[in-house]
Amino acid sequence: MIIGYARVSTDDQNLDAQTDALQAAGAERIFADKISGSMRKRPELDKLLDQVRPGDVVVVAKYDRLARSLRDLLDIVEAIKDQGAGFRSLAEDIDTTTPAGRLVFHVFAS
Give the integer Cα–Cα distance in Å for 89 and 80.
13
Catalytic residue among 9, 38, 69, 110: 9
Task: Specify whether 9 is catalytic.
Answer: yes
Give the integer Cα–Cα distance in Å for 88 and 58.
6
End-to-end CA distance of the chain: 29
Active site residues: 9
